Structure 1
Amino acid sequence: MTTTARLSPTDLFAQVMRYENRPDPYPYYALMRERPVVRMDNGTWLVSGYHEIAQLLHDPRISADRLNPQAPKPPQRSLLVQDPPRHDRLRRLVTQEFVPRITGMRDHIAELVDQLLDAHTSSGPGQLDVVADLAYPLPVTVICELLGVPREDEPVFGSLSRRLTLALDPVDSPTEEQIRDAQQARDQLLEYLEALIQRRRAEPGDDLLSALMSSGDDEGPMGPVDLRVTLVLLLIAGHETTVNLIANGTLALLRDPGVLARLRTDPDLATPLVEEVLRYDPPVQMSGRSALADIDIAGTTIPKGSRIRIMLAAGNRDHRRFPDPDRFVPDRRDNTHLGFGGGIHYCVGATLARAEAQLALTALARRLEAPRLVADPPPYRENATLRGPEHLPVAFDRLTNG
C-alpha cells in the first residue's frame, strides 16, 4: 500500500481509482472516513461515512444528475439519473411489470445454476472460472428470458455492456477516444434494441419488453425514447452488478473455509450471507449525485450545484454503524447496508439479484468438493465503480451431480 501519511482527499480518491489497488481499496476507504464529508481539489465532494451517505440518499435536495442538475434534462436518460417526477413515473411503469415476473422464479433460477455447473461435472479434479462459467451467464440468461431477448444475441450486447460500464467510472477528463467509444457502444446497443422493439411490435409476446410497450398509466404507455433507455438500463444493470455479487461472494467463501462448510450444511445461511457480501464487498462501490441546494452535513456545507461522489463501499465498513466492520460475518444482525443504494433510487432489481446470488453460492458450496482459489487475489476488472474479478478460477477435487 502506498504511504498514507496525510494523503489529501484527492490523493485518497486517486488511490481508489488506481488499478493496482483494485483487489483491496478498503484501507483507503478507511482513511477517507476520518473526514466523512470532504471536498476534493476539483470541487467534487467525497462522502464516505455511513450515516452521512444514508442522509444524502434520502434527501430531496440531492439530484441523481451527477454533472449538471440545473440544466434541462435530455430525454435519452434512464431513470437511474432522472429526478422526480419523471423518475417516479418511469420507475413505477418498470416496477409494475418487472416485479410480478420475478416472483416465483427461484426454482427456475436454481435449474439454470445446476445446468451451468453440470457442464463441468467431474468425478475427479477439475477447474472452472466462476465468472465466465456461472456468475456471468446466469444473470444474462435470466434477463434475456425476462425481456424476450434471444439468448443467441447475448454476445451483441455483452461486449457493448462492458464498454458502456467503463464510462460509469468517475473520470473528470475522459479522452476523446473514451468518449467516442462509449457513444459508439451506446448507439450500437440502441440500434439493436430498436430492431428488437420493431419485432415485438409486429409480434408481441408475454415478455417484459412487450408488456412495457403496451401497458401504461394515465399518461399512456412508456414513450419510445424512454423504452429504449430503460431497456439499456435493465440489460446492463440486470447482469453486470449480479456478476460481481456472485463473484465477490464466492471469493469471500473460499477465503473462509469455515463459512463455506456452514453454508454446505445449512443452505438457509445463504440469505443473511448474501446481505453480508453486499455490505462487506459490494458490487457497486460508489455513485454520483449533485446538490440542488446548500446542504449542511457533518459540520460542513455542500454548496448548491456541487458534484458529490457517494462512496457506498466505504460507508458499508463504517465502524460507527457496524461492529468489527472489516470482518466477514455471514449471519450479521442489523445489517442495513448500502449495497443496493437507498432512497428513491434503491436498486429496482434487488430482489432478483439476491435470489440469483443466494442460489448460485449455495450450489457452489453444495456441489464443489475441496474448492480452492487458483489465484488470490484474482485478476480484477478495470472498472472501479462496478468492482469485481475479471476471472475467478477455482480448482476442486470433484464436482458432484446436481
Structure 2
Amino acid sequence: MDPIIAATHADPYRYYAKLRSAGGLTFDPELKLWVASSARAVCAVLAHTDCRVRPAQEPVPKAIARGTAGKVFSQLMRMNDGEHQRCPRSAFEPALGLIDLDDVGAQVSARLITADADGLYNAMFRGPVCVVAALLGFTPAQARTISELTADFAACLSPLSNELQLAASDVAAQKLHGQFTELLAEPDVHSALLAGIMQRFEGDADTLIANLIGLCSQTFEACAGLIGNALLALRRQPELGAAPTGALLAEVQRFDPSVQNTRRFVAAACDIDGVRVEAGAVILVLLAAANRDPALNEDPDQFIWDRPNRRSFSFGSGRHQCPGQTLAMSIASATVREILNHGIEVDRLSWHYRPSLNGRIPLFSFVGG
C-alpha cells in the first residue's frame, strides 16, 4: 500500500497509524513527495503561507488548460491563494452560513428516493446538487439539469479521467456557464442564498459563475461520500440506527471521511513541523490519518457518535477551510434520514469504492437483487 492508493483501500487506517508512528512529516522516495500524517504536521502544512493549493508552474492541470473547464478551474477559490481565494470566499462564506437548514431538509424530503441501487445512487450523487441548485433559485427541472451537468463537469477535477470524460467535462462547463448566466440575468432574484452572495461579491461575473459551479461540484462528491460512508457505518454497526442522524454524520466525517487527502505545493524553502522542505516540493496531506491521531481525538479508532470535543480536518482548516461545511453536513444528514425512512436495507448492501486518488466514495449494489 502507499498513501495515495490507501484512499480506496478496504481499511487504510492501520496503515495511516504506521505512517504517523514513523514521523508526522516524512519523505516517500517512490512517490517523490512528502507525506503529512500526524495532526500536528497536517495543521502546520495547512496553516503555512508557503504551502499553496496549486504549483506555480501549473496553476491549471495541462489536460484541461485550454478549454472552458480549465477556465472555470482557474477561477475557483479552492484552487487559488491570495486575493483570488479571499474575494469569492468573503462573499460565499457569510451567505452559506445563513441558509435555513429546515429549508434544506424540506428540499431533500421532496426528492423521490426509490429502494433500489439506482435510487440510492441518485440520492447520493444527484440529490445533493439538486438541493443546492434549488437553493440558488433554479426550478426543479433546471436543478435536475444542473445536477447532471455537474456530474460531467466533476471529471475535470480527477487526474484519472480519460479523454472522453474530459471532453464531456468541457461541454458541461460551457452549459453550466450558460445556465448560471441566465439565472444571474433574471431581473428578480428569488433566492436568499444567491442574493446574499451577489450582495457581497466584488469580482467579475465569470469569477462569480465559476465559483457557483464550484459550489455545485464540491457538493457532488463531498455529500456522496458522507452519505455513502454513513450507510457503511450503519451496516457495520446497526445499533447506530438509534443515534440522531446529524450526530452520526458528524462522527462519520471524522472517522471515515469522503476526502482522505489533499495536496500542497511548496512555493519557497521553509521549515514545517521541524523539517526543512525545499521549494518545488509536493506534500500529500493525509487528512484522514490526522483525524485518527490520538493527539487530536481520544480513542480515535472508536466510532463514538456523541463524541465530546470532536476535532477533524475533513473540511480543511485555516484559510482554505470549506465554507460549505454546514450545508454539506445538513444535506447529507437529511438524505441519510430519508434513505432510512424509505426502508432501504443497509445489511443487503455490497459496495466498492469509486476510483480516486483522494476520495473515499462507495458505490452500492444490493446483494440478491
TM (norm. structure 1) is 0.76
- Alignment CA distance shift 1:257-1:71 (3 Å): closer
Letter in 2 for 1:338: F
User: Which residue matches 2:80?
Assistant: 82
2:173 maps to 1:197: no
Q: 1:358 aligns with which of 329, 333, 358?
A: 333
Identity %: 23
CA distance in 2, matches of 1:60, 1:24: 33
- SS in structure 2 opposite 1:390? strand
CA distance in 1, matches of 2:44, 2:271: 11
Q: 1:16 aligns with which of 6, 18, 23?
A: 6
Letter in 2 for 1:374: R
Alignment of 1:53-72 (within 5 A): 53-65=42-54, 67-68=55-56
2:316 maps to 1:341: yes
1:63-102 deviations in Å (ceiling 9; x for gaps): 122x227979x883210011123311110022243333x1
Q: 1:185 aligns with which of 169, 182, 191?
A: 169
Q: 1:373 aligns with which of 347, 351, 369?
A: 347
User: Which residue matches 1:385?
Assistant: 358
User: Which residue matches 2:137?
Assistant: 148
CA distance in 2, matches of 1:71, 1:111: 39
1:11-33 deviations in Å (ceiling 9; x for gaps): 6135426xxx5433333323332
Letter in 1 for 2:177: L
2:209 maps to 1:211: no
Q: 1:26 aligns with which of 7, 10, 13?
A: 13
Letter in 2 for 1:215: Q
- Alignment CA distance shift 1:256-1:285 (3 Å): same
Contact 2:152 2:168 in 1 (8 A): no
Structure 2 residues not aligned, in runs of 5+:
61-70
Structure 1 residues not aligned, in runs of 5+:
1-10, 121-125, 396-402
CA distance in 1, matches of 2:147, 2:338: 25
2:263 maps to 1:288: yes
- Alignment CA distance shift 1:212-1:386 (3 Å): farther
CA-atom RMSD, angstroms? 3.4
- SS in structure 2 opposite 1:227? helix
- SS in structure 1 opposite 2:42? helix
- SS in structure 1 opposite 2:207? helix
How far off its partner does 1:157 sit? 4.5
- Alignment CA distance shift 1:274-1:199 (3 Å): closer
Contact 2:255 2:292 in 1 (8 A): yes
Contact 1:48 1:315 in 2 (8 A): yes
- Alignment CA distance shift 1:222-1:80 (3 Å): same
2:286 maps to 1:316: no
CA distance in 1, matches of 2:325, 2:47: 18
User: Which residue matches 1:40?
Assistant: 28
User: Which residue matches 1:5?
Assistant: none
User: Which residue matches 1:223?
Assistant: 204
How far off its partner does 1:202 sit? 4.5
Name which one, 1 or 2, has greater alpha-carbon Rg: 1
Alignment of 1:325-336 (within 5 A): 325-336=300-311
How far off its partner does 1:337 sit? 0.7
Q: 1:109 aligns with which of 99, 104, 108?
A: 104
User: Which residue matches 2:67?
Assistant: none
CA distance in 1, matches of 2:338, 2:171: 38
2:291 maps to 1:303: no
Contact 1:93 1:222 in 2 (8 A): no
Contact 2:4 2:358 in 1 (8 A): no
Q: Tell me which moved more, 352-361 or 126-135.
A: 126-135
Contact 1:287 1:310 in 2 (8 A): yes
